[in-house]
Structure 1
C-alpha cells in the first residue's frame, strides 16, 4: 500500500524528541508498504535529511521509507500564536501532498490537531481513507489548563469531531483518549500506548553522569519538555525541601521549553545546589544518562484531566532503562507504577504535593535494595507489556485494515 504518514514533529533516534512515528513508519515499511513521512522542522528533531531545502521542501529516504520535510520551524519554546501559525502552515503544505499523489491510506498523527485537515481534505476530495492518531486530546487538555479561549476550544472541538467521526479508525494512546474519541463519533478505536524501545534503552548501555555531582548522591533525572503542562515548579520545591533536610539527592532536569529560563532563574533564587540542568540530548546519549541515573522523574502540572488523558513517552524510557520511577500523577501512571497486580516499579505521589515527592525520593535514597527491586520490576514490565515492536505490529494491522477498502469505494465522499 501507498501510505502517507503525517506527523509534524517526526524525528529519528538521533534527535532528542519522541521516536514513536519513526518506529511505526519503519515497521510499516518492513511489511512491504511504500511509506512517505511528511513532517516539519521540530526543535530537537533530526529527520535524517541533510540536503538543502528547495522551495521550502526537501526529501529523501530514511530507514527504508521516504521523508518529506517542510521548512516550517516549530518548538515548545515558541509562543502559542507562533506555534499555531506553524501548525496551519504545515497543514497547507501537507494538504497539497495529500491531494497530489495516489495514496491508499493516510495516517494523521496529532499533536497538533490541525494535522487532521489534510486527511479530511483527501477523504472528501479523493475518497482516501485515513487513520487518526490521538497523542494529546485537543481541546480537552488546553481547556483544562486554561490555555486559549472558548472560541479556540470550540474550533478545535469541531475539528476533533470531524477527525474522529470521519476516520476509518482512531488510534488512541490511552483508554481516556479512546473515550474522548468514541464520544466524538469514532466508529473503531484501538488503544496503543507509547511503547518501550528495548534496544536503545536497557542494561547493556554504557552509562555516564554529569561531572561535578556530589558523592554519594541519588541521581533523579527528569528528561522532557519544560512547559506549562509539566509543572516543574514542583520539582524545585521538592529540591528545596531535600536540600534543607540534607538528603543525598540530586535532581537533574534535561530538556528545553518556554518555561526553562524562568525555572532556572527560580532555582538560582532559591540557591538550589542539588539541582542540575542539561540541554536536550540525542536519544543515544539520553540512554547512557538514564543508565547512570538512579531514579526517573515524571512530573506534570496538577491538572485532574492528566490522570487518564496522557501517555508520557518519558515514562516508557525510564521503564526500558530499568529505573524506578517517582511520579506526581494519579490514574493510569499510578496504576502502572503500582504494578497492576505485579511488583511495583515506582512511587506515585499526589499531584502538586512537593513534600510527598521529596519524601519519596529521600526514601529511595535510603533504601538501595528497594530501588534495585523496583528497577528490575520496571524492566520486566517494559519487556512483558510495553515492547514497542509488539505494539508496532498491532499499529500496522490497524493501518492496513483502514487501507483495504475496495478501489471502487474510493470516490469523492460527499
Structure 2
C-alpha cells in the first residue's frame, strides 16, 4: 500500500522540533511505501525507509503574520503539484497545523480518488480565534466552514487529546470517525542516555551542583514565559542551587533575555533550540519539567511534545494550567498543577520537590506512565488499527 504523508514541519531526530511524523513514518514504512511532502529545507538524516520530498518552504518562529500566510500558501501550492506527480496512492495522511494543510489534502484526495486520514494536533481555527489573532467575522466563518469540510471528507480523524475529541464531537463530527492518539513518549531515546552523558551535559553548562528545571519549546506570546521569570525571581531569594533552563526560539526570546538582564534574574538560562537527540540528553539530565501557557481555556486541550518528553525521561512535571494533563499528573502522582495567577505556588512546589524524598516517587511514576500509556509503540499500534479499519 502507498501512503502520501503531508506535513509541512517534518523533523527527524537530528533536527529541532517534534518528531511524531518521523516515528509514524518509520512504523508505516515497515509494511507500506511511504512518501512525505514537507516544507523543511533541512537535509534528511541517513538512508531512510521512506521518501522525503521538500517544497523548500521558508518558515521560522520570527516571521510576522503576512510572512507566515505566504509560507502556508507556498507549501500548499507546491504540495499539490508534487503530490499530483505521485502514482497509485492508497491513503493520504495529512497532519495539521496549519489548517491550510487541508487544501492539498482535499485536492489530492479528489485527484487521486483515495482515502484521507486527517490528524488534528491543534484545533484550528478555534485557537487563533480565542486568542484574538483572527477577529474578522467573515474570515472566521470561512475557516470554520473549511474545517468542517475537511472533517466530513476524511475517512478517519486523529486527535491528540480527549479535549480535542470532545471539541469535534460538539461540532457534529461522528464519533466513529475520531480516534485519540496522544503525542509520543520516545522512551527508546531516553533509555539510551547514560550517566556519563548526563555528567557531560552538566559540565557543559556549568550545572554540576544545581537542581535543574527545564522548559524546552517555543518562546511566543501564548507560552506566557514571564510566569517562569517570576518564579525564578522568587526562588533565587531562597535557594541559589536551583537553575531554570528555557530552550528554544520565538518572538518573545529577546524580550525575555532583556527582562532577565534588567531585573538581575541570575538563576534562569535562555538557550537556543537543540536537535532532538541533544535536547533528549539535556532533559534527561534535568530534575524537573515545567509546562507553562497563557491563561486560555482552549490551550488546556493541547498535547505538547515536552510533556511526553518529561515523562519519558522520568521527570516530575509542574503545569500552570488545568485540563487533561494536570488531571493525569495528579492521578498518577507524577507531578502537580499550579495556579496560572500565582507564580509563588509553582516556586514553592519546586522548592518542596527539591528538598523532599517525594521526588524519587514522582520520577518513578512519570517513568512508568510514559511506558505504560504514551510510548511510541502504543501510539503506532493505535495508528495501525486505524489503517486496517479504513482498508476494509
- TM-score, normalising length: structure 2: 0.93
1:276 equivalent in alignment to 2:255: no
Which residues of 2 match residues 9-20 of structure 1 at below 5 A?
Answer: 9-20=9-20
Cα distance in 2 between the residues matched to 1:327 and 1:232: 12
1:133 equivalent in alignment to 2:119: yes
Q: Confirm or deny: 8 A CA contact 1:192 1:391 kept in the other structure.
A: yes
Q: Quote the residue 1:54 is aligned against.
A: none
- CA offsets, 1:324-364, max 9 Å, x none? 111112111111111x3x4x111210223211111111111
Which residues of 2 match residues 285-300 of structure 1 at below 5 A?
Answer: 285-300=278-293
Q: Confirm or deny: 8 A CA contact 1:252 1:277 kept in the other structure.
A: yes
Aligned residues: 384
- What's the CA shift for 1:135? 0.3
Cα distance in 2 between the residues matched to 1:189 and 1:158: 19
- Selected match of 2:61 from 68, 76, 91: 76
- Selected match of 2:316 from 302, 324, 343: 324
Q: Quote the residue 1:195 is aligned against.
A: 184
- What's the CA shift for 1:286? 1.3
Q: Quote the residue 1:53 is aligned against.
A: none
Q: Quote the residue 2:363 is aligned against.
A: 375
Unaligned runs of 5+ in 1: 50-60, 406-414
- What's the CA shift for 1:269? 1.3
Which residues of 2 match residues 13-412 of structure 1 at below 5 A?
Answer: 13-30=13-30, 32-41=31-40, 46-48=42-44, 62-101=47-86, 102-150=88-136, 151-187=138-174, 188-202=177-191, 204-205=193-194, 206-207=197-198, 208-209=201-202, 211=204, 213=206, 216-246=209-239, 248-307=241-300, 309-338=301-330, 340=331, 342=332, 344-367=333-356, 369-402=357-390, 404=391
- What's the CA shift for 1:276? 0.6
- What do you get for the CA RMSD once the two structures are aligned? 1.9
Aligned pair in 2 of structure 1 residues 214, 23: CA closer, same or farther (>3 Å)? Answer: closer
- What's the CA shift for 1:141? 1.0
Aligned pair in 2 of structure 1 residues 19, 379: CA closer, same or farther (>3 Å)? Answer: same
- What's the CA shift for 1:62? 4.5
Cα distance in 2 between the residues matched to 1:103 and 1:276: 48
- What's the CA shift for 1:218? 1.5
Cα distance in 1 between the residues matched to 2:62 and 2:224: 15
- CA offsets, 1:255-297, max 9 Å, x none? 1111111111111111110011111111221121122111111
- CA offsets, 1:117-155, max 9 Å, x none? 111112334322111100011011111211122344333
More helix by share: 2
- TM-score, normalising length: structure 1: 0.88
Query: Tell me, what secondary structure is at the counterpart of 1:193?
Result: coil
